Amino acid sequence: MTLMVEAKGLVKRYGERVVVNGLDLTVEEGEVLAIIGPNGAGKSTTLDMILGIKRPDAGSVMYWREDAKRQIGVQLQATPFFPGYTALENLRMFAVFYGLRPTNAELMEHLKRLNLHEAAHIDASRLSGGQQKKLAIAMALLHRPKLLFLDEPTAALDPRARREIRELIRTLAEAGTSIVLTSHDMEEVHKAATKVVLINRGKIAASGTPDELLAQFGVQDLEELYIKLTESIEEEPALGAVYSGGGSL
Ligand SMILES: Nc1ncnc2c1ncn2[C@@H]1O[C@H](COP(=O)(O)OP(=O)(O)OP(=O)(O)O)[C@@H](O)[C@H]1O
């Protein structure tokens, strides 16, 4: 088993507020790890610290190799497209950033993988929300990363597009790509993820395969688990004390 990422004791504070509180996380090769949790739980902040976008106040992040960042693909919630340029042109610009020189035919093939080829010649800023999301994912995949981060990859997508992205995730994982994703769609997480980490108030409330979690907590599905664990932590006053300053989250 190769560990692709090992994050230990991650802490992030904003003023007196601790939004990520001593979080440990590992990503194994070929794993599809879903990070779930309420709005504001600290999921994106955790991803940002793992990616080096935000500096942790404590803790460490180790990758499987020193030059790992060349082999990482990232789709964040907001993607800065270049307006005035088509989807294809945007894709080409990102390819150049990665040091690649793909032909038009290769780029079209890449767009086709995401069922986005018909939008190739549309200005990126005029694409629908779902098409923009797909373009962001296409950009993250251009250099065939070994490790892929997807922050809410299926939010704003219609059911067919969701299924396409889920199938793409499965195909990538089968080919050995490790994937870390966040999602609020529990059914989808159950279908796509090999491991689930539930974050609540900056801490890990549960972690395991979807089936392990259902058995461990005696619930029917991940939505029930989510409701159960996010409720129970809010009700438990002792856990509130771990947040410095006592500020509400
Ligand atoms: N720059 C900042 N300054 C102050 N607070 C911040 C900053 N960035 C994030 N936060 C706060 O940190 C907390 C965690 O935010 P984060 O974006 O990690 O949550 P999340 O779990 O990804 O939520 P969502 O599901 O809504 O995307 C939130 O309460 C947010 O308001």
Query: In one letter, which amino acid is 140?
Result: A
- For atom 1 of ligand 1, which residue has the closest CA? 14
pLDDT band (50, 70, 90) for residue 157: confident
Complex confidence, ipTM: 0.96
Q: Are 92 and 135 in contact (CB under 8 A)?
A: no
43 lines ligand 1 (CB under 6 A): yes
- For atom 17 of ligand 1, which residue has the closest CA? 44
Tell me: pLDDT of 245 over 50. no
Tell me: pLDDT of 207 over 80. yes
Q: Are 33 and 27 in contact (CB under 8 A)?
A: yes
19 lines ligand 1 (CB under 6 A): yes
Q: How far does CA 206 lie from the centroid of its chain?
A: 17
Query: In one letter, which amino acid is 137?
Result: I
Predicted confidence at residue 224, as pLDDT, reads 95
CB atoms < 10 A from the CB of 129, how many? 11
| Average pLDDT value for residue range 58-85 | 90
- For atom 8 of ligand 1, which residue has the closest CA? 45
- For residue 140, how far is its CA from the centre of ligand 1 (angstroms)? 23
45 lines ligand 1 (CB under 6 A): yes
Tell me: pLDDT of 233 over 80. no
Among 11, 14, 57, 152, the mutation site with the greatest number of ligand 1 atoms within 8 A of its Cβ is 14
Please tell me the distance from the alpha carbon of residue 92 to that of residue 104, in angstroms, as a whole number. 8
CB atoms < 10 A from the CB of 131, how many? 21
32-36 and 178-182 strand pairing: parallel
Q: 18-27, 64-73, 96-105, 236-245: which has the highest mean pLDDT?
A: 18-27
The angle at the Cα of 35, spanning 34 to 41, to the nearest 5 degrees, equals 165
Output the pTM of the full model: 0.88
Give the residues across from 74 on adjacent strands. 149
pLDDT band (50, 70, 90) for residue 232: low
Atom of ligand 1 minimally distant from the CA of 14: 4
| Average pLDDT value for residue range 239-245 | 38
Predicted confidence at residue 30, as pLDDT, reads 92
220 lines ligand 1 (CB under 6 A): no
